[in-house]
Structure 1
Amino acid sequence: MTPPDEREPLLQFEQPESTHNQSSPAMATTADTTQATNAHSTVDRDEARRILRRVDWRIMPLLFLTYTFSFMDKTILSSAAVFGLREDTHLKGSNYSWVSSIFYFGYFLWAYPTTLLVARLPVAKYLAANTFIWGVVVALTAVCSNYGGLVTVRFFLGVAEATISPALMFITSTWYTRDEIPTRTGIWFAGNSVGGIISSLLAYGIGHITDSISPWRWMFIILGVATFLIGFGILFLLPDTISQAKFLTPEERQWAGDRIVIAGTGRTENATWKWEQTLECLQDPKTWLIWSIALLCQIPNGGTQNFANLVITSFGFTSLQSTLINIPYSIISIAAISGSGWLAGHFRSMNCILVGLVVIPPVVGSALIGSRSSIPHGVSLFGYFLLSTGPAGLPLLLSLVQSNYRGVTKKMTMTALLFIAYCTGNIVGPQLFISTEEPTYDTAFRAIMICYALVICLVAILRIYLQLTNKRRQREEGIQGSAGASGAVGGGKVVDVADSNNVTEAVNTVQLRPEDYEDVTDWKTFGFRYRL
């Protein structure tokens, strides 16, 4: 594990002709005849930091807010369940489990088509349109009076929200370098846990309403209207591409785009869908390792997300108290998500290790809850809080996908597969909470313990595979390469970006050529190395 500031700041070499041609079909014809120079003016380090701050302040609040509401709108169902939703809509037996799961059937149905559209349509406008629809669907949940109505709106909520995560991943990899992606992903994904705190406080406040409209209906009305309004912020403030970012000057836009070509995973503008990249993604062993880990992480998430308040009330707390107890749970999740994201961004060999570390507490926690008949309620509650670090596994996997997949089609195909695993896990999870086992749910917590234990095993295999792949490519190419750069750019030079200062130096000195802007996968990019 080597901190960024201990690495060599710049590694350059002349690329062998045969490998150079492998990087891009067009390189053989353009390399000898075209020598493009950077169109931007030189940017010093202070100016570079200022530009990055402007990008952060424009992009990150919008992504964070969107993800916060995405989580709130999914999980408010758990709070609504203890404030009369099940009684008012006459849910029986496993009905509530299916109301929880059906969301992910809609998500599953739309997960792959929407990744195609995210890459092809103006991403900000497409995300805004989905947000408007999503807000309307959330508000309509308040008028449901039976099982059929709830199932219908929850299904379409899944369809509407299927675009959120792929779009945010696409936007993050468009604007940020490989070293910046994990930290930024951790920031907007922490909106999940912040959403958990806000929804708990909202549910606690609304739970005191005693008018003719049930408290659970007010929850969906308020969140639906707020979500709809968020859509206007996305529409008017979020640019579709770097080249359309009006809050930057033309020179700043050129600099922002070139830094992604040099230290990111390549340019995303004007990319076309390439079926050969889809096939490559399906043939890539790391695809299925990451997919399996995501599935195993989400089976526990699907159950605990929707049954959290029911489990807490079984410890002897009231409905109102159960909403407040989720606040420290969410605070721990925020710390785990943002902290692990920061570490993964600063240490290129820590990502897989961090996935394993954040799922160890849930293994212990689920074992404690599973033994609740022989231990005090206080210990069981402590076990419940240990589950709170588990959600940090998914953003670390999202970071691995954004940082280790090059090629727009390949990355978006992997994104679709990742969220198919996400949906599958969240469909299966609630079904493990068997109604006849209420309130102990023994089967569910045994399954949670097994899933997280398997995650630890698989993530170790993934790390070993990526490490061996890096060593093999190093032997074949004859150079060390870089896990922080885009690969071979600027006439065969590989830039190892140690920190943000070296990004600035590289953008100012490396002369990019037309083929450097081409859409090429990680398999076919000379000098590309995987983050571990």
Structure 2
Amino acid sequence: MGSPDIEKKASPSISTNGCDVEATQGALPSGKVDAALEFLRAEGTAEMSELDEKKLVRKIDWMIMPLMWGCYNLQYLDKVLINYASVMGLLEDTKMDTNQFSYLALAFYITYLFFEFPTGYLMQRFPTAKYLGFNVTLWGLMTTLNCTAKNFGGLMTLRVLLGCFESAVAPSLILITSMWYKRDEQPKRMGFWYVGTGTASIMGALVAYGLLFYTGDRFHGWQIMFLIFGLITIATGIIVMLFLPDNPMTSRLSHEEKVWAIERLRENKTGIENKHFKMDQFLEVWKDPQTYFIMIIVTAINVPNAAISSFSALIIKGFGFTTKETELLTIPGGAVTVISVLSGTYLAGQFDQRCICVIGILICGLLGGCLMAFSRDDMGAAKLAGNYLTNFVGASLPLMYSLAGANVAGHTKKVTMNAILLMAFCLGNILGPLTFRNEDEPEYIPAKIAIVATVSVGIVFTLLLKFYYMWENRRRDNNKEGLQHQENSEFLDLTDLQNREFRYKH
């Protein structure tokens, strides 16, 4: 790469909400603004060519995306291993029934939900990547210990702890993506690491199928499966702590590349990082209408996630297939997830239409729910196709992550919104298992009808969210808000409501 022309620039005083913030290099208040501006005041600004930027983005991709995919792939895999184990003898070996199995899924998401705010606070206080890697290592240990569980009580304890530590992964990855990429680049990148849900489904099914041929009497096949993936997760957590950078300012990029990496994100107007908790930003989240739209959508679309992540094997086996056939027939569901996530996030980034892509994906999932719920008993192929199509629903979640990442500014507000988003994710997954009851075996018709209803709610409220963003952007344009650019306003740690230059992506 060629050397950039770097110029030192003095920044004028900037007024935000009646408060003058001295943005000159000497008077900039440490900790009040974004860490990126504190870095740039000593380094100046930089210009780079389009070719230089493409090279830099490729370097960033190779530096962080494989590790992010690895984390999300393993968090989904470790979470759903119990799905494969359920048809490998886990229920019989631990003397559990279907209701107790449902409680295991429920317990995971309850603890996941309650730890979102604490983990959001800790993630802001500690280096983001180190905090993520530490939690990956700990949940890997919990996964490994599943091979020692002998009864429902032991499994329940480990699922509770697994939920505690896995609660850090999604908000960390959303935050990391937003601090490295422009808003129009974020959907594809979030799609790349979120596609780990699909690859995890394929990997888990293949390993589970292979272990069905295990004939040893010292261990059960499901115990070996937990042991293998638990140890892999522990190793991944250590690698993340060692090699995933916490932010652009402390990364392994060259000095010039760090300046470039920061400067190219000015157009986001969402900042990069600030380690100081700001109560006014925390409170603002609860006053922001988009918060409630996102909460309802994410809750609704994650009720079907229970069927996909925890009960798909039992549903497929209920169609009359053998255990080995069931494990193989879960593989196409993972392939559908991969295809839908990659295509949905690509189209959203290409055409800058996140909400429309969410609606299109949910319509495919709605079709799947209808096929499962309303097909006649003799239409096994239609029911199986419907089971696969419901995997489309999960592809809408990275786009919701992208909406939150692109439309929420101010570091404390971003961290809080991520926590709320993941709490809604948990709430949907808590409600989902409650629709699967012993008395509904093996068809689980009420659960399938719940999929149809909740996906429909998700479609309606996504449309309303799009209309809200369009209305707010038009209101700001009509009032001529933010037409005069204030230098360095992008890195003053302003929220999307405080920064009148901000316009929402939809």
User: 2:134 is matched with which residue: 116, 119, 129?
Assistant: 129
2:491 pairs with 1:517: yes
2:317 pairs with 1:323: no
Partner amino acid, structure 2, of 1:406: A
Report what 2:345 is aligned to. Answer: 341
Q: 1:214: how far off?
A: 0.6
In the aligned structure 1, how far is the partner of 2:358 from the partner of 2:471?
Answer: 19
2:226 pairs with 1:220: yes
Distance 1:399 1:516, change over 3 A: closer
Q: 1:38: how far off?
A: 6.5
What is the Cα-based RMSD across aligned positions, in Å? Answer: 2.2
2:473 pairs with 1:473: no
Where in structure 2 are the equivalents of 1:81-96 lying within 5 Å? 81-96=86-101
1:73/1:223 contact within 8 Å kept? yes
- 1:198-256 per-residue CA deviation (whole Å, 9 max, x = no partner) reads 1111111112111121111111000100000101210111111211112x111110110
Where in structure 2 are the equivalents of 1:16-165 lying within 5 Å? 21-22=15-16, 25-27=19-21, 39-165=44-170
Q: 1:262: how far off?
A: 3.2
Report what 1:527 is aligned to. Answer: 501
In the aligned structure 2, how far is the partner of 1:204 from the partner of 1:55?
Answer: 36
1:177/1:265 contact within 8 Å kept? no
Report what 2:381 is aligned to. Answer: 378
Q: 1:282: how far off?
A: 0.4
- 1:34-57 per-residue CA deviation (whole Å, 9 max, x = no partner) reads 996972554222222111111000
In the aligned structure 2, how far is the partner of 1:292 from the partner of 1:141?
Answer: 33
Where in structure 2 are the equivalents of 1:71-470 lying within 5 Å? 71-212=76-217, 213-246=219-252, 248-263=253-268, 265-268=270-273, 270-348=274-352, 350-470=353-473
Question: After alignment, is 254-263 or 139-148 more displaced?
Answer: 254-263
Partner amino acid, structure 1, of 2:497: W
Partner amino acid, structure 1, of 2:320: G
* Corresponding residue SS for 1:21: strand
Q: 1:389: how far off?
A: 0.7
- 1:110-165 per-residue CA deviation (whole Å, 9 max, x = no partner) reads 11110111122011111111111111100101111111111110010000100011
1:292/1:421 contact within 8 Å kept? yes
Q: Provide the TM-score with structure 1 as the length reference.
A: 0.87
Report what 1:500 is aligned to. Answer: none
Partner amino acid, structure 2, of 1:346: Q
In the aligned structure 2, how far is the partner of 1:159 from the partner of 1:478?
Answer: 43
Unpaired runs of 5+ in structure 1?
Answer: 1-16, 482-487, 494-511
In the aligned structure 1, how far is the partner of 2:373 from the partner of 2:339?
Answer: 25
Report what 1:485 is aligned to. Answer: none
1:303/1:429 contact within 8 Å kept? yes
Q: Pick 1 or 2: higher relative contact order, CA cutoff 8 A, min separation 6.
A: 1
Total equivalences in the alignment: 483
* Corresponding residue SS for 1:26: strand
1:178/1:264 contact within 8 Å kept? no
In the aligned structure 1, how far is the partner of 2:305 from the partner of 2:448?
Answer: 11
Partner amino acid, structure 2, of 1:530: Y
Q: 1:276: how far off?
A: 0.5
Distance 1:93 1:59, change over 3 A: closer
Identity of aligned residues (%): 33
Q: 1:328: how far off?
A: 1.5
- 1:8-42 per-residue CA deviation (whole Å, 9 max, x = no partner) reads xxxxxxxxx99x62368334785999996972554
Q: 1:197: how far off?
A: 0.7
Q: 1:264: how far off?
A: 5.2
Q: 1:517: how far off?
A: 2.3
In the aligned structure 1, how far is the partner of 2:268 from the partner of 2:104?
Answer: 44
In the aligned structure 2, how far is the partner of 1:63 from the partner of 1:111?
Answer: 19
Distance 1:23 1:257, change over 3 A: farther
Distance 1:319 1:121, change over 3 A: same
- 1:395-416 per-residue CA deviation (whole Å, 9 max, x = no partner) reads 1100000000000111111111
In the aligned structure 2, how far is the partner of 1:516 from the partner of 1:439?
Answer: 55
Distance 1:391 1:24, change over 3 A: farther
In the aligned structure 1, how far is the partner of 2:23 from the partner of 2:270?
Answer: 23
Partner amino acid, structure 1, of 2:224: W
1:177/1:264 contact within 8 Å kept? no
- 1:448-484 per-residue CA deviation (whole Å, 9 max, x = no partner) reads 10000111111111111111000001111257x7xxx
* Corresponding residue SS for 2:63: helix
2:268/2:490 contact within 8 Å kept? no
Q: 1:375: how far off?
A: 4.0
In the aligned structure 2, how far is the partner of 1:33 from the partner of 1:131?
Answer: 40
